[in-house]
A and B are shown apart, each in its own frame.
Chain A
Amino acid sequence: MKLKKWIGLMAGAVMAAGLVLTAHADGPVEITFWHAMGGVNGETLESIVKDFNESQDEVHVNTEYQGTYDDTITKLKASIQSSTGFPDVCQMYDVGTKFMYDSGAAIPVEDMFETTGYDKSTVMDVISSYYSVEGKQYAMPFNVSTPMLYYNKDVFEAAGLDPETPPKTYEEILEFAKQIVDSGAAPVGYSQAIYGWFFEQQLAGLDLCYGNNDNGRTEPVTAVEFDSNGGGEKIFQMWLDMYKSGYFENYGTTTADTQTAFFAGQVGIIIESTAILKNAINSSPFEVGTGYFPRFEGNEDGGVIIGGGSLWMMNTGDEAKENAAWKFIEYTTQPEVQAKWNMGTGYFAINEAAYDLDEMKAYVEEFPGFSVAINQLKDSPVNTYTAGVLSGVQTESRLIFNDLMAQVYDGKITPAEGVEQLASQVNSAIENYNASIE
């Protein structure tokens, strides 16, 4: 029996070509988990892995922090190329989905559902739809976030605004920002980082697609749509108006710089990811209020796209490790784990059952900001707009956006020119990408 197990393992190792054999016949199966969570979020993740390792003795997960999302995907590419040091489970950001799908280096998680009797509906539809290609779920969402509005309740009070009523539209934000600055409650009324993700979110909020072929969900994207459907220009124009109003401050593309200003009480209102909620509460000496991601007047019911990251099961060719990897991934979807994750970070619980737990209920009562985030997600319609664009060049597209938005703010180009250039540059990137994977 023991011999047989060894032979099986050896065969697996040979197939995995170059992988280090770390599993023992009688010890737990050792698997490697690459992640990109630093700071408060990283600590919570480590603690979840520790819980998992202690909860059973068949699988032992070794975490390896890889730096930022961009660092992680870069290292993963290198390890796929050289087929060494492959992780068994890899955390990947939302826009890495198409790359992972095209690379063929991962096993779709849905392949494991049937054999293990996993109930697909454990994860909310609006979330799993982002990680589905042609109807099949490829990755297990793990850290799910959306953008939302953060505001400083003390500043609201000082400005004579109701600290329990956040602004809902950009028009209202402008009004509130004016009152904040004019009353001297804070030097800056509103701020948002130059961040392509917000642009994608705003398009979804307008019930418009970023790319053609239903945001690439029915067939690969071949061109963008935000130029022809008018959404791009509308958004660029609104943001430029905000910028020029005098109540807005631009802290650039580094989102942390906008956060710093907000935490320091310099800015009344910002938009940011729900993922920084825990950090915001910890870092701010004032009471943090939260509200829905702002909309345009007339589009108040638009939804948000889920962002954040997911867990991918890598195709290592070693069945024992793959099963172990799935076991860990399955564990992360349990309500208790998701509740812990949500409370420790600000990322959503992907499993709705987490919100029925007593500890979670008590927590939300203490920090109502958490319920705003989840309600916003629940209120989001599941459609092609909120599924988000599935594109292999989205990282690049966001960088191009950053560049052009800064030029629009500076008055070097008009919003119309900005959108036109964005569309043509992203289209050529898409064309290049599609040609390279044919």
Chain B
Amino acid sequence: MQLKAKNPVFKAIEPYLYLVPALVLFALFVFWPFIKTIQLSFALTDPLGRVAKYIGAKNYIDILTNGAFVNSLIVTLKYAAGRVVFSIALGFILAIISTEKIKGKGFFRTMYALPMAISASAAAVIFMFVFHGSVGILNKLLGTHIGWLTDQRYALMAVTIVSVWIAIGMNFIYLTAAIQSVPVELYESVSLDGANFFQKHRYVTIPGVSPTLFFLLIINVINSIQAYAEVKMMTSGGPASSTNIVVYEIYQQAFINSRFGVACAESVILFIILIILTALQFRLEKKVTY
């Protein structure tokens, strides 16, 4: 049977019809809330989140001038930098060690990947005991008397350590897989050239796994900026806002203070920052070897 020639009009719109289901879902769950967020960011909202009146850019001016939001952005940057750098670096080191020919490799690999299986909240609760000023094991081991979660100098570091501990697992797994797919011939070749352990990894492993490193960088940055559970559980943003990361700040404004308008304005700014960050990172992609 011969196919009928299609109506040219139908032919033109046909591809779009296939996109409709996905677009409807996106529109409903992504675009619509997004437009709502922008709309609410210009409004004063009542405790139920309904618009009381429109107040122009006042929410934006308030959050950019009153310090709390700007502080939360700075805290987030510090937190994200620490978490991304250490969780990727440590994951990478562990991955290299566990691809060496050592006994009990499988055991170590399982151990290193295990934190991934623990939810951030559960880990946070356990670490709250570890960090406790009087009954925590950390102070006992170090012989110190530090309020890890109650002293402004240490709280952010303590929260970051827990986050790194949780994030290492995933980075470790991805990097182990990537290292194993680096062609063996390359290693043989550099060995013949007389490369030592560090040179081997510097000139073969790192370029070899660079696509994975790039992927992990983007994922880790996004995850860090969206982090929430550790702070909610361990410090509630305190002491004195020193761990008040941006998503927790937004949560507080919206759900504790019932200032949905302010929270929406903060979300819009966070969105802009994430777009800029992601664009910057994609510039790095040129350095990646595929």
A residues bordering B, Cβ < 8 Å?
70, 74, 77, 80-81, 99, 102-103, 187-188, 194, 249-254, 257, 260-261, 264, 266-267, 392-393, 395-396, 399, 402-404, 406-407, 410, 412, 429, 432-433, 435-438
In the complex the two chains form, is A260's CB within 8 Å of B132's CB?
A: yes
Q: Which residues of the other chain, B, contact A264 by a CB distance below 8 angstroms?
A: 134-135
In the complex the two chains form, is A435's CB within 8 Å of B256's CB?
A: no
Report B120-135 residues with CB < 8 Å from chain A CB.
128-129, 132-135
In the complex the two chains form, is B49's CB within 8 Å of A81's CB?
A: yes
Residue B255 is within 8 A (CB to CB) of chain A in the complex? yes
In the complex the two chains form, is B256's CB within 8 Å of A436's CB?
A: no
Q: Which residue of A lies closest to B148 (CB)?
A: A252
Q: Which of B2-10, B15-23, B39-47, B216-224 contacts A (4 or more CB under 8 A)?
A: B39-47
Given contacts A396-B257, A399-B256, contact A80 B152 (CB under 8 A): no
In the complex the two chains form, is B49's CB within 8 Å of A77's CB?
A: yes
Q: How far is the CB of B278 from chain A (nearest CB, A)?
A: 30
Contact with A along B105-133 (1 / 0, CB 8 A): 00000000000000000000000110011
In the complex the two chains form, is B47's CB within 8 Å of A406's CB?
A: no
Interface size band for B: 20 to 34
In the complex the two chains form, is B257's CB within 8 Å of A406's CB?
A: no
Q: Which residues of the other chain, B, contact A396 by a CB distance below 8 angstroms?
A: 256-257
> Which 9 A-B pairs have CB atoms at the shortest separation, nearest pair first?
A252-B150, A406-B239, A406-B240, A266-B134, A396-B257, A261-B134, A436-B52, A436-B46, A74-B255
In the complex the two chains form, is B152's CB within 8 Å of A261's CB?
A: no
Q: Which residues of the other chain, B, contact A188 by a CB distance below 8 angstroms?
A: 134
Residue B147 is within 8 A (CB to CB) of chain A in the complex? yes
Q: Could you list some 28 contacts between A and B, CB below 8 A?
A: A70-B255, A74-B256, A77-B47, A77-B255, A81-B48, A99-B47, A102-B47, A194-B239, A249-B147, A251-B134, A251-B147, A253-B238, A254-B128, A254-B235, A257-B128, A392-B47, A396-B256, A399-B252, A402-B238, A403-B241, A406-B150, A406-B239, A406-B240, A407-B240, A410-B240, A433-B258, A436-B52, A437-B52
In the complex the two chains form, is B52's CB within 8 Å of A435's CB?
A: yes
Q: Which residue of B lies closest to A102 (CB)?
A: B47
* Complex: A150 Cα to B235 Cα, angstroms: 24
Residue B149 is within 8 A (CB to CB) of chain A in the complex? yes
* Complex: A403 Cα to B249 Cα, angstroms: 13
Q: Is the interface of A mostly helix, strand, loop or mixed?
A: helix
* Complex: A82 Cα to B252 Cα, angstroms: 21
In the complex the two chains form, is B149's CB within 8 Å of A252's CB?
A: yes
Q: Which residues of the other chain, B, contact A80 by a CB distance below 8 angstroms?
A: 48
* Complex: A393 Cα to B133 Cα, angstroms: 32
Q: Which residue of A lies closest to B262 (CB)?
A: A432
Q: How far is the CB of A422 from chain B (nearest CB, A)?
A: 13
In the complex the two chains form, is A187's CB within 8 Å of B44's CB?
A: no
Q: Which residues of the other chain, A, contact B210 by a CB distance below 8 angstroms?
A: none
Q: Which residues of the other chain, A, contact B258 by a CB distance below 8 angstroms?
A: 77, 99, 433
Q: Which residues of the other chain, A, contact B133 by a CB distance below 8 angstroms?
A: 249, 251, 257, 261
Q: Which residues of the other chain, A, contact B152 by a CB distance below 8 angstroms?
A: 406, 410
Q: How far is the CB of A267 from chain B (nearest CB, A)?
A: 7
- What would 11 more interface pairs be, CB under 8 Å, given A77-B48, A253-B238? A70-B255, A250-B150, A251-B132, A251-B150, A253-B236, A260-B129, A260-B135, A392-B47, A402-B238, A432-B259, A436-B47
Q: Which residue of A lies closest to B236 (CB)?
A: A253
In the complex the two chains form, is B135's CB within 8 Å of A261's CB?
A: yes
* Complex: A80 Cα to B134 Cα, angstroms: 43
Given contacts A257-B128, A406-B238, contact A395 B134 (CB under 8 A): no
In the complex the two chains form, is A395's CB within 8 Å of B257's CB?
A: yes
Q: Which residue of B lies closest to A263 (CB)?
A: B135
Residue B50 is within 8 A (CB to CB) of chain A in the complex? yes
Report B63-78 residues with CB < 8 Å from chain A CB.
none
Which of these, A249, A250, A406, A436, contacts B45 with CB under 8 Å?
A436
Given contacts A102-B47, A406-B152, A410-B240, contact A70 B256 (CB under 8 A): yes
Contact with A along B124-164 (1 / 0, CB 8 A): 00001100111100000000000101101000000000000
Q: How far is the CB of A11 from chain B (nearest CB, A)?
A: 26
Q: Which residues of the other chain, A, contact B257 by a CB distance below 8 angstroms?
A: 393, 395-396, 399, 429
Q: Which residues of the other chain, B, contact A433 by a CB distance below 8 angstroms?
A: 47, 258
Q: Which residues of the other chain, A, contact B235 by a CB distance below 8 angstroms?
A: 252-254
Q: How far is the CB of B4 from chain A (nearest CB, A)?
A: 48
Q: Which residues of the other chain, A, contact B150 by a CB distance below 8 angstroms?
A: 250-252, 257, 406
Contact with A along B245-258 (1 / 0, CB 8 A): 00000001001111
* Complex: A77 Cα to B50 Cα, angstroms: 11
